[in-house]
Structure 1
């Protein structure tokens, strides 16, 4: 009886481990290939986009406080307006990947200092979608954040599903000798 309960618990544990692994793989794939990779491609393409003049409307450091701890993260909120072919647009993208909050307040402060309210700026806009714009074109270290983060989830998922599957396959091969 005890062996049967133990065996049932092991099977249930493997099922949960495999299920979590599949969830991690799906989440990782989505983050890496539906958020991260398009962001990298857009950042690379932005270096060839046409430019227009814009004006910073608002620039401030946003503080995000955690409800369950005393920690805070910071991000720069820079809002600018620009015009393309008589159409006015507003954007908040300073660089692709720059919308991530970090515990480093000085990073957000530097961005806000660089782009104060009422400053005239050069805006790079997507010629096929003028509502998409950026102040600093190209790929930066933070641009890779979602892609790498997605791959971390994907890796955990692969390990979580691969190890139990490999063990089962190993038992089948070794057990048949």
Structure 2
């Protein structure tokens, strides 16, 4: 590999990762924005636990998250949900708090998208994790701008 071309290749990769992170962030921001006005219905937590996993393999790894599954009925149709809120993955402490807040068997309010009732959240609106993807995208773009000066 020619090390003279390293900054260009690195900038290209950082731009691609930045665009991907930005796209995911915009999805979360849009979902959080919309969920603020979604109607609510009663639901039940079916499964709730803190779980360790690997982003690459999906099996047990070094990242913590929660696994929450809930069910709710609208107009005689049973729906299943898994999203607690719109945003990035939490820390271990936040995952534990979410599972403690929504234990298995608990009755909960489920906020659903009226045009697609299978799309739902337990916590509507924005929170600090909603901005995680945006911060990651800004980090990629900042690194790209810093490397650009060495091209």
Q: Do both proteins adopt the same fold according to a TM-score greater than 0.5, normalized to the shorter chain?
A: yes
SS in 1 for 2:126: coil
Which residue of 2 is the match for residue 51 of structure 1? 40
Rg (Cα) greater in structure = 1
CA deviations on 1:27-80 (whole Å, 9 max, x unpaired) are 101211x100121121011010011111100111112379xxxx8432121110
| CA root-mean-square deviation | 2.1
1:61 and 2:47 correspond: no
User: Number of residues paired by the alignment?
Assistant: 146
CA deviations on 1:59-117 (whole Å, 9 max, x unpaired) are 11112379xxxx8432121110112222221111111116x153x3x322221111111
Structure 2 gap segments, 5+ residues each: 56-60
Q: Please give the alpha-carbon distance, in whole angstroms, between the structure 1 residues aligned to 2:16 and 2:109.
A: 39
Q: Is the Cα contact below 8 Å between 1:97 and 1:142 reproduced in 2?
A: yes
Which residue of 2 is the match for residue 135 of structure 1? 122
Distance 1:29 1:65, change over 3 A: closer
- Give the structure with the higher percent helix: 1
Which residue of 2 is the match for residue 169 of structure 1? none
TM-score (norm: length of structure 2):
0.86
Q: Is the Cα contact below 8 Å between 1:73 and 1:101 reproduced in 2?
A: no
Q: Please give the alpha-carbon distance, in whole angstroms, between the structure 2 residues aligned to 1:125 and 1:155.
A: 36
1:26 and 2:26 correspond: no
Structure 1 gap segments, 5+ residues each: 1-8, 166-177
TM-score (norm: length of structure 1):
0.75
Which residue of 2 is the match for residue 112 of structure 1? 99
Which residue of 2 is the match for residue 5 of structure 1? none
